[in-house]
Structure 1
Amino acid sequence: MEDEPPPQGVSAKALEATLLSALKMLDVGKWPIFSLCSPEEIKLIRQACVFGSAGNEVLYATENDEVFVLGMNCSGCLGTGDMQSTIEPRRLDSLCGKKIACLSYGSGPHVVLATEEGEVYTWGHNAYSQLGNGTTNHGFVPCQVSTNLVNKKVIEVACGSHHSMVLTSDGEVYTWGYNNSGQVGSGSTANQPIPRRVTSCLQNKIVVNIACGQMCSMAVVENGEVYVWGYNGNGQLGLGSSGNQPTPCRIAALQGIRVQRVACGYAHTLVLTDEGQIFAWGANSYGQLGTGNKSNQSYPTTVIVDKDRVIEIAACHSAHTSAAKTQSGQVYMWGQCRGQSVTFPHLTHFACTDDVFACFATPAVMWRLLSVEPDDHLTVAQSLKKEFDNPETADLKFLVDGKYIHVHKVLLKIRCEHFRSILNNDDEIIEMSEFSYPVYRAFLEYLYTDNIRLPPEDAIGLLDLATLYRENRLKKLCQQTIKQGICEENAIALLSAAVKYKAQDLEEFCFRFCINHLTVVTQTQGFADMDHDLLKNFISKASRVGAFRN
Structure 2
Amino acid sequence: MMFQNGGGNSRTGSPVDHSASIRKQQQTETDETFRDPHQNDTASDKNRIFSWGNGTNGQLGCGDKESKRTPVEVFLPSNPDGEICDTLITGVACGSRHSFIWTDTGHCYGFGNNFYAQLGYDFRKGNYKENQLEPHLLRSLFFGKVNQVACGERHTLFALENGKIAACGANNCGQIGIDSREETFVPRLIEELESVCKIACGANHNLAVTGDGKIFMWGYGRACGNNRQDIFIPELVHILQDDVIAVAAGGWHSLLLTGLSHGVFFTLSFVL
TMscore range, shorter length: 0.7 to 0.9
Mapping 1:331-370, distance limit 5 Å = 331-336=266-271, 341=272
Instruction: Tell me which of 135, 140, 163 is aligned to 2:98.
Output: 163
Which residue does the alignment assign to 1:315? 249
CA distance in 2, matches of 1:308, 1:102: 21
User: Is the CA contact 1:289–1:303 (under 8 Å) kept in the aligned structure 2?
Assistant: no
The match for 1:283 among 205, 217, 220 is: 220
The corresponding residue for 1:192 is 132
1:327 alignment counterpart? 259
1:240 counterpart = 2:179: yes
Alpha-carbon separation, structure 1, partners of 2:248 and 2:252: 11
**Pairing of 1:71-82 with structure 2 (within 5 A):** none
Paired residues of 2:34 and 2:203 also in contact (CA < 8 A): no
Alpha-carbon distance between aligned partners in 1 of 2:6 and 2:179, rounded to the nearest angstrom: 32
Q: How much has 1:57 moved relative to structure 2? A: 5.7
Q: Report the Cα distance in structure 2 between the residues aligned to 1:240 and 1:154, rounded to whole angstroms.
A: 34
Q: Alpha-carbon deviation of 1:195?
A: 0.6
Q: Structure 2 CA distance, aligned partners of 1:283 and 1:251? A: 16
Deviations 1:333-386 (A, max 9, x none): 3345xxxx2xxxxxxxxxxxxxxxxxxxxxxxxxxxxxxxxxxxxxxxxxxxxx
Residue 269 of structure 2 aligns with an amino acid whose one-letter code is W
Please state whether the residue corresponding to 2:62 is helix, strand or coil.
coil
What is residue 56 of structure 2 aligned with on the other side?
127
What do you get for the CA RMSD once the two structures are aligned?
Answer: 2.8
CA distance in 1, matches of 2:218, 2:19: 30
Kept in 1: contact 2:256–2:269 (CA 8 A): no
The 1:106/1:310 distance shift into structure 2, 3 A limit, reads: closer
Distance 1:315 1:271 in 2: 10
- Tell me the distance in 2 between the aligned counterparts of 1:325 and 1:284: 21
**Structure with greater contact order relative to length (CA < 8 Å, sep ≥ 6):** 2
How far apart in 1 are the matches of 2:237 and 2:152?
Answer: 19
- After superposition, the C-alpha distances for 1:64-115 in whole angstroms (9 at most, x for unaligned) are x9xxxxxxxxxxxxxxxxxxxxxxxxxxxxxxxxx98778783251111111
Written as runs of structure 1 = structure 2, the 5 A alignment for 1:125-524 is 125-148=54-77, 150=84, 151-187=86-122, 188-202=128-142, 205-254=144-193, 257-285=194-222, 288-290=223-225, 294-316=228-250, 319-328=251-260, 329-336=264-271, 341=272
Q: Aligned equivalents of 1:60 and 1:197: distance in 2?
A: 22
> Is the alpha carbon distance of 1:323 and 1:205 closer, same or farther for their aligned partners in structure 2, counting shifts above 3 Å?
same
Q: Per the alignment, in what secondary structure is the counterpart of residue 232 of structure 1?
A: coil
Which structure dedicates a bigger proportion of its chain to strand?
A: 2
Is the contact between residue 241 and residue 298 of structure 1 (CA under 8 Å) also seen in structure 2? yes
Structure 1's 264 and 106: CA in aligned 2 closer, same or farther, altered over 3 A? closer
Q: Is the 8 A contact 1:289 1:335 kept in 2?
A: no
In structure 2, distance between residues paired with 1:200 and 1:49: 28
How far the C-alpha of 1:209 sits from its partner, in A, is: 1.2
SS of 1:196's equivalent in the other structure is: strand
- Structure 1 unaligned regions, length at least 5: 1-45, 66-98, 342-550
Measured against aligned partners, the alpha-carbon deviations of 1:38-74 in whole angstroms (never above 9, x if no partner) come to xxxxxxxx6445679755566789xxx9xxxxxxxxx
- Compared with structure 1, are the counterparts of its residues 323 and 242 closer, same or farther at alpha carbon in structure 2 (3 Å cutoff)? same
When the two structures are superposed, what TM-score results if normalisation uses the length of structure 2?
0.81
Count of paired positions? 248
Aligned to 2:47: 118
Q: Separation in 1 of the partners of 2:216 and 2:7?
A: 28
Kindly indicate whether the alpha-carbon contact (under 8 Å) linking 1:101 and 1:115 is maintained by their aligned counterparts in 2: no
Contact 2:214 2:242 in 1 (8 A): no
The one-letter code sitting in structure 2 at the alignment partner of 1:131 is: L
Contact 2:254 2:270 in 1 (8 A): yes
**Equivalent residue, structure 1, for 2:125:** none
Amino acid aligned to 2:155: C
Change (3 A) 1:334 1:120: same
Q: Report if the CA contact (8 A) 2:149-2:157 is conserved.
A: yes
Tell me if the contact between 1:234 and 1:267 (Cα under 8 Å) persists in the aligned partners: yes
Q: CA deviation at 1:330?
A: 3.8
Shift of 1:117: 2.6
Amino acid at match of 1:109: H
Aligned counterparts of 1:212 and 1:250: Cα–Cα separation in 2: 16
Higher-Rg member (1/2): 1
CA contact (8 A) 1:100 1:115 kept: no
Following TM superposition, where does structure 1 have runs of at least 4 consecutive aligned residues deviating by more than 4 angstroms? 49-61, 99-105
In percent, how many aligned pairs have the same letter? 27
Residue 253 of structure 1 aligns to a residue in which SS?
coil
Q: Distance in 1 between matches of 2:247 and 2:206?
A: 10
How far apart are the structure 2 equivalents of 1:304 and 1:108? 31
- Do 2:34 and 2:202's aligned partners in 1 also have CA atoms closer than 8 Å? no
Q: Say which structure is richer in helix.
A: 1
CA distance in 1: counterparts of 2:74 and 2:208, whole angstroms: 29
Q: Structure 1 length as normaliser, TM-score? A: 0.42
Amino acid at match of 2:112: G
| Structure 1 residues 233 and 273: CA distance shift in structure 2, 3 A | same
